[in-house]
Structure 1
Amino acid sequence: MYIFIISAEVLFWVFVVAGLIARYMYDLKKLGGLLLLCTPVIDILLLIAVFITVSSGMEITTATGLAACYLGITVAFGHRLIKWADVRFSYWFGKGPKPQRKYGAAHAKEERTTWLLHLLGWAIGNVLLLAIIVYVGDLQRTASLEGLMKTWAVVLAIDFIVSFSYTLAPKKNKA
């Protein structure tokens, strides 16, 4: 399952970069858009791999759970990651405006928004994890998934503290 997760991440970025290269270096906007639209297909293939693993009676490991987490995060952050890369490619190859760093209240708002997306990804991932646990119906077989849910909740709480700390102590421009 780890290979599926790593392959999904690699393929996600391959399609993103290929789409942006087509769009900005070769001025093939439709092809670039099509390649970018292929990124959700990767998530569907990973979801199929998880379903096959779960339904075939294979061992359910932390990797199975990480696949569910990956799906939650890509659904929550996928569009934002593509937009982030698009802005940079536009600047580097398409004569777009230089990406601006955010400071102060704008940066604090960005951090809070990012945490809310993390919360969304956590919720989606945990729904998938719970669906697997209910579908399997064997708590001993799915114990690693429950441990993963607890660990992710701690990570989410730490991210909350860090993200919202910028509201109290905004990031300052060093210039």
Structure 2
Amino acid sequence: MIVALIIACEVGFWVLLALGLALRYLAKMPRLGAAVLLCEPLMELVLLVVTTLDLENGAAPDWKHGLAALYIGYTVAYGHYTIKWLDGHAAHRLAGGAKPAGAGWGKARAVHEWKLWVRTVVAAAVALVLLQTAIWYVGDAGDVSSLKAWQYGALRAVGIHALIAATYTLWPKKAPEGAADTGDRPAVAKR
């Protein structure tokens, strides 16, 4: 049931996102679109409550509960960022807005990658807190090795992402020919 709910939350995230952006830019109903986008966190709250109730009702803690914790952590850290990023692109494509700035190159790209790493740290921290709370809740009554494995997985993700960000610092992405050296992408003519 937990896996189905995680899948439903992920599908619901994209459906609400598409509906919210369509209402904002295609139907010219920005307030209603914003209201739909604000419903996104409710799905994660439902997932948290159902996962908690599942453990409370005596379910053995396993990989599904760990996956739910990581999913909630990821959504907390990256959900708003993803919505904002897609909103900028929808405004450009559907409403004639300015093209969103890219991550750039050089130092600007490295800074961008380290900011994403901070989001991964936040995601891992949320997941670690949820997992540790579940471990304490279950206590000696059950096998919590699966939840501890997910904790180590979250920490590994932080480490791997740090290595990726470090590569952008050590070997900066070079600007293409003719581009300004400011780290920004070249201006694109509006269609």
Same fold by TM-score greater than 0.5: yes
SS of the residue corresponding to residue 140 of structure 2 reads coil
Alignment match, 2:180: none
Find out whether 1:15 has 2:35 as its counterpart.
no
Measure the CA separation in 2 of the matches of 1:20 and 1:173: 32
Measure the CA separation in 2 of the matches of 1:4 and 1:15: 16
Alignment match, 2:5: 4
Alignment match, 2:132: 130
SS of the residue corresponding to residue 141 of structure 1 reads coil
Instruction: Please point out which of 155, 165, 168 is paired with 1:166.
Output: 168
Alignment match, 2:36: 35
Measure the CA separation in 2 of the matches of 1:23 and 1:86: 9
Find out whether 1:156 has 2:153 as its counterpart.
no
| Unaligned stretches of 5+ residues in structure 2 | 178-191
Measure the CA separation in 2 of the matches of 1:165 and 1:46: 35
SS of the residue corresponding to residue 137 of structure 1 reads helix
Give the TM-score normalised by structure 2. Answer: 0.88
Structure 1 residue runs of 4+, over 6 Å off?
none
**CA spacing shift, 1:145–1:139, aligned 2, 3 Å:** farther
SS of the residue corresponding to residue 57 of structure 1 reads coil
Aligned residue identity for 1:54: L
Measure the CA separation in 1 of the matches of 2:101 and 2:76: 25
Measure the CA separation in 2 of the matches of 1:7 and 1:126: 23
Shift of 1:77: 1.0
1:23/1:29 contact within 8 Å kept: yes
Instruction: Please point out which of 138, 143, 146 is paired with 1:144.
Output: 146
**Residue identity (%):** 35
1:133/1:139 contact within 8 Å kept: no
**CA spacing shift, 1:95–1:155, aligned 2, 3 Å:** same
2:73/2:122 contact within 8 Å kept: yes
Aligned residue identity for 1:138: D
Alpha-carbon RMSD across the aligned residues, in angstroms, is: 1.2
Q: Which moved more, 1:116-125 or 1:53-62?
A: 53-62
Name the larger-Rg structure: 2
Measure the CA separation in 2 of the matches of 1:157 and 1:140: 29
Shift of 1:14: 1.0
Deviation track 1:94-121 (CA, whole Å, cap 9, x = no partner) reads: 1011233211111111100000010011
